[in-house]
Amino acid sequence: MSGQAFSAGGLAALHDTIARHVASDAAPGAVGLVHRRGETHVMAVGTTAIGGGEPMTRDAIFRIASMTKPVTAAAVMMLIDGGLIALSDPVERWLPELADRRVLRSLDAQLDDTVPAARPITVEDVLSFRLGLGLVMAPPGTYPIQREIERLGLMGFGPPDPASPLDNGAWMRGLGSLPLMAQPGEQWLYTAGANVQGVLVARVAGMPLSRFMDERIFAPLGMADTGFWTPPARQGRLVPAYSGPAADLICYDDPAASDWGRPPAFEAGDAGLVSTVDDFLVFARMMLSGGKHDGRTILSEASVAAMMTDHLTAAQRKGGAMILGEGHGWGYGLSVVKDAGAESPRAGAIGWSGGLGTSWFSDPAADLTAILLTQRAFEDPSGPPIHRAFQAAAYLTLADE
For residue 34, the domain's CATH number is 3.40.710.10
φ, ψ of residue 329 in degrees (nearest 5):
-110, -165
Say whether both 162 and 176 belong to one domain: yes
Enumerate residues 6+ apart whose C-beta is below 8 A from 69: 191, 194, 269, 270, 271, 333, 334, 352
In this structure, the answer to whether residues 144 and 173 fall within a common structural domain is yes
Task: Please indicate, yes or no, whether residues 178 and 302 belong to a single structural domain of this protein.
Answer: no
The reported pLDDT for the residue numbered 209 is 98
Contacts of 42 (CB under 8 A, 6+ apart): 31, 32, 33, 58, 277, 278
Residue predicted with more confidence, 24 or 369? 369
The whole-number pLDDT of residue 211 equals: 98
Residue 244 sits in the same domain as residue 361: yes
Q: State phi, psi for 283 to the nearest 5 degrees.
A: -60, -45
Q: Is residue 400 part of a domain?
A: no
Residue 252 lies in a domain: yes
Residue 137 pLDDT exceeds 80: yes
Type and span of the H or E element at 36: strand 29-36
The answer to which of 80-84, 184-188, 248-252 has the lowest mean pLDDT is: 248-252
Does residue 354 belong to any structural domain of this protein? yes
Q: How far does CA 175 lie from the centroid of its chain?
A: 21
Domain that holds residue 12: 8-67+209-395
* pLDDT digits 0-9 by tens, 267-298: 999 999 999 999 999 999 999 999 999 999 99
For residues 202 and 211, the answer to whether their CB atoms sit within 8 Å is no
State residue 19 phi and psi, 5-degree precision: -60, -40
Residues 91 and 183 in one domain: yes
Cα 391 to Cα 328: distance, rounded to the nearest angstrom: 15
DSSP assignment of 354-383 equals: ETTTEEEEEETTTTEEEEEEESBPPSSTT-
For the residues of 239-304, what is the DSSP string, one character each?
PPEEES-GGG-EEEE-GGG-TTSS--SS--TTT--EE-HHHHHHHHHHHHTTTEETTEESS-HHHH
Does residue 254 share a domain with residue 216? yes
Per-residue exposure over 173-186, b if at least 16 CB sit within 10 Å of its own CB, e if not: ebbeebbbbbbbbb
Report the pLDDT value the prediction gives residue 247, as an integer from 0 to 100: 81
pLDDT in tens, 1-36: 447 999 999 999 999 999 999 998 778 999 999 999
What is the pLDDT at residue 51? 84
> What pLDDT shows up at residue 1?
43
Q: What's the rounded mean pLDDT across residues 125-136?
A: 98
In a domain, 229, yes or no: yes
**Averaged pLDDT, 82-106:** 98
Please report whether residue 158 resides in a domain: yes
Grade residue 46 by pLDDT with cuts at 50, 70 and 90: very high
To the nearest 10°, the Cα dihedral for 170, 139, 385, 309?
60
Same domain, 18 and 161: no
Domain final residue, candidates 205, 234, 255: 205
Q: Is residue 334 part of a domain?
A: yes
| pLDDT reported for residue 320 | 96
- Beta strands in 154-197, from DSSP E residues, in sequence order: none
Mean pLDDT of the chain: 96
pLDDT of residue 340: 80
Does residue 311 surpass a pLDDT of 50?
Answer: yes
pLDDT at site 341: 79
User: What's the average model confidence in pLDDT over 355-383?
Assistant: 96
Q: Considering 190, 205, 220, which residue would you say is the last residue of a domain?
A: 205
Burial of 296 (0-12, 13-18, 19+ CB in 10 A): exposed
> Is residue 401 in a domain?
no
Say what the pLDDT of residue 246 is.
Answer: 81
Phi/psi for 241 (5° steps) reads: -115, 135
pLDDT of residue 53: 81
For 377: left if phi > 0, alpha if psi spans -120 to 50, otherwise beta; the answer is: beta
How many percent of the chain have pLDDT more than 70? Answer: 99
What's the pLDDT at 343? 77
Q: How many domains does the chain have?
A: 2
More reliable by pLDDT, 126 or 1: 126
**What is the C-alpha separation between 96 and 26, in angstroms, rounded?**
45
**Residue pLDDT, tens place only, 227-262:** 999 999 999 999 999 999 888 899 999 999 999 999
Half-sphere exposure at residue 213, Cβ-oriented, CA atoms within 13 angstroms:
26
CB 356 within 8 A of CB 373: no
Residue 137 and residue 53 in one domain? no
Q: Sign of dihedral through CA atoms 132, 216, 166, 141? A: negative
Quick one: 82 and 165 in the same domain? yes
| Burial state string for 336-349 with b = 16 or more CB within 10 A and e = fewer than 16 | bbbebeebbbbeeb
Q: How many CB atoms lie within 10 A of CB 144?
A: 17
Domain boundary among 152, 172, 205: 205
Based on the fold, state whether residues 35 and 132 are members of the same structural domain.
no
* pLDDT, mean of residues 336-350: 89
Percent of the chain surpassing pLDDT 90: 93
Question: Do 192 and 272 share a domain, yes or no?
Answer: no
Asked whether residue 305 is domain-assigned, the answer is: yes
Asked whether the predicted pLDDT for residue 317 surpasses 90, the reply is yes
Residues 235 and 272 in one domain: yes
> For the segment 202-234, what is each residue's pLDDT rounded down to a tens digit?
999 999 999 999 999 999 999 999 999 999 999
